[in-house]
Chains A and B, each alone.
Chain A
Amino acid sequence: MTESAALTRRHEFVLFFDVTNGNPNGDPDAGNLPRLDPETNRGLVSDVALKRKIRNYVALARSDRPGHEIYMRDGATLNLEHKRAWAAIMPEVTKAEDFKKPPKEEAKARELTRWMCANFWDIRAFGAVMTTQVNAGQVRGPVQLTFATSVEPVLPLEISITRLAATTEKDAEDKGGRTMGRKHIIPYGLYRAHGFVSAPLASHPVKGTGFSEADLELLFEAMTSMFEHDRSAARGEMATRRLVVFRHAGALGNAPAQDLFSKVQAWRVHKGERRAIGDEQTDNWPVARSFADYAITVDRDGLPEGIEVIER
Chain B
Amino acid sequence: MSFGVRLHVWGERACFTRPETKVERVSYDVMTPSAARGILEAIHWKPALLWVVDRIHVLKPIRFQSLRRNEVDAKIGAVTAERAMRAGSTAGLGLVVEEHRQQRAATLLVDVAYVIEAHFTLTPRAGAEDTPAKHASMFNRRAAAGQCFHRPCLGTREFAADFALLPEGAPLPGSRLPPDQRDRDLGWMLHDIDHAAGGVSRFFRARLSEGVLDVGRCLAEGTAA
Interfacial residues, chain A to chain B (CB-CB below 8 A): 27-29, 35, 37-39, 46-48, 52, 69-76, 78, 86-87, 90-91, 93-94, 97-98, 109, 111-112, 115-116, 119-120, 128-132, 137, 140, 142, 144-147, 149, 194, 196, 198, 200-201, 250, 252-259
Q: How far is the CA of A28 from the CA of B102 in the complex (A)?
A: 11
Majority DSSP secondary structure for residues of B touching A? mixed
The distance in angstroms between the C-alpha atoms of A77 and B77, with both chains bound, is: 23
Task: Return the CB mask of B152-179 against A: 1 if under 8 Å, else 0.
Answer: 0100011110111000000000000000
Residues of A within 8 A of B13 (CB): 147
In the complex where A97-B86, A112-B78 touch, is A198 in contact with B93 (Cβ < 8 A)? no
When the two chains form the complex, which single residue of A93, A149, A253 contacts B146, counting CB atoms closer than 8 Å? A253
The answer to whether A38 touches B65 (Cβ under 8 A) is: yes
Known contacts: A112-B85, A130-B76. The answer to whether A254 contacts B145 by CB under 8 A is yes
Say if the beta carbon of B142 comes within 8 Å of chain A. Answer: yes
> How far, in angstroms, from A259 to B66 measured CA to CA in the complex?
29
Q: Residue B180 at the A interface, CB < 8 A? A: no
Q: A111 vs B34: C-alpha distance in the bound complex, in angstroms?
A: 29
9 pairs from A and B in contact (CB 8 Å cutoff)? A38-B65, A71-B93, A75-B97, A78-B96, A144-B153, A144-B160, A147-B158, A250-B147, A257-B146
B87 contacts across to A, CB distance below 8 A: 94
Cα-based distance from A35 to B90 in the complex (angstroms):
36
Stretch in B49-57, B67-75, B114-122, B201-209 touching the partner: B67-75
Q: Is the CB of B151 within 8 A of A115?
A: no
Residues of B whose CB lies within 8 Å of any CB of A are 12-13, 65-72, 75-78, 81-82, 85-90, 93-99, 103, 105, 110, 142, 145-151, 153, 157-160, 162-164
Once A70-B94, A73-B94, A109-B78 are accepted as A-B contacts, the answer to whether A194 and B160 lie under 8 Å apart by CB is yes
A-B contact count (CB 8 A): 145
Q: When the two chains form their complex, are residues B96 and A255 in contact, meaning their CB atoms are under 8 A apart?
A: no
Q: CA of A91 to CA of B86 in the docked complex: distance in angstroms?
A: 10
Q: How far is the CA of A203 from the CA of B45 in the complex (A)?
A: 17
Q: Which residues of B contact A47 (CB under 8 A)?
A: 158
What separation, in Å, do the CA atoms of A112 and B85 have in the docked complex?
7
Select A71's contact among B86, B95, B146, beta carbons within 8 Å: B95
Closest to A94 in B: B88
- Which of A29, A69, A72, A91 has a CB less than 8 Å from the CB of B66? A29
A29: chain B residues at CB < 8 Å are 66-68, 105
Q: How far is the CA of A236 from the CA of B129 in the complex (A)?
A: 60
Q: How near does chain B come to A196, taking the closest CB pair, in angstroms?
A: 4
Q: How far is the CA of A194 from the CA of B160 in the complex (A)?
A: 9
Contact A196 B160 (CB under 8 A): yes
Q: Which of B65, B87, B94, B159 has the most CB of A within 10 A?
A: B94
* The residue from B12, B97, B146 contacting A256, defined by CB atoms under 8 A apart: B146
Q: Min CB distance, A57 to chain B, in Å? A: 15
17 other A-B residue contacts (CB within 8 Å) besides A46-B67, A72-B97:
A27-B68, A46-B69, A48-B70, A71-B76, A71-B94, A73-B95, A78-B96, A98-B86, A130-B77, A140-B150, A140-B157, A144-B160, A146-B12, A200-B149, A256-B162, A257-B160, A259-B146
**Most-contacted residue by chain B among A37, A75, A98, A258 (CB, 10 A):** A258
> Provided the pairs A38-B65, A73-B95, A74-B98 are in contact, do residues A198 and B76 lie with their beta carbons within 8 angstroms?
no
Q: What's the minimum C-beta distance from A252 to chain B, rounded to whole angstroms? A: 4
Residue contact B96 to A146, C-beta cutoff 8 Å: no
The residue on A at minimum CB distance from B85 is A115
Contact A129 B86 (CB under 8 A): no
User: Shortest Cβ distance from A23 into chain B, in angstroms?
Assistant: 15
- CB pair A198 B94 closer than 8 Å: no
Once the chains are docked, how many angstroms separate the CA of A29 from the CA of B24?
13
B89: A residues at CB distance < 8 A: 86, 90
State whether B149 touches A198 (Cβ < 8 A): yes
Cβ contact within 8 Å between A198 and B88 = no
Q: Please name all residues of chain B whose beta carbon is closer than 8 Å to the beta carbon of A93 when the two chains form the complex.
A: 85, 88
Contact B94–A72 (Cβ < 8 Å): yes
**B159 to A130, Cβ gap below 8 A?**
no
A28 near B68 (CB under 8 angstroms)?
yes
How far is A199 from B104 in the complex, measured between Cα atoms in Å?
31
Docked Cα-Cα span, A102 to B33, in Å, equals: 37
- B150 contacts A200, C-beta separation under 8 Å: yes
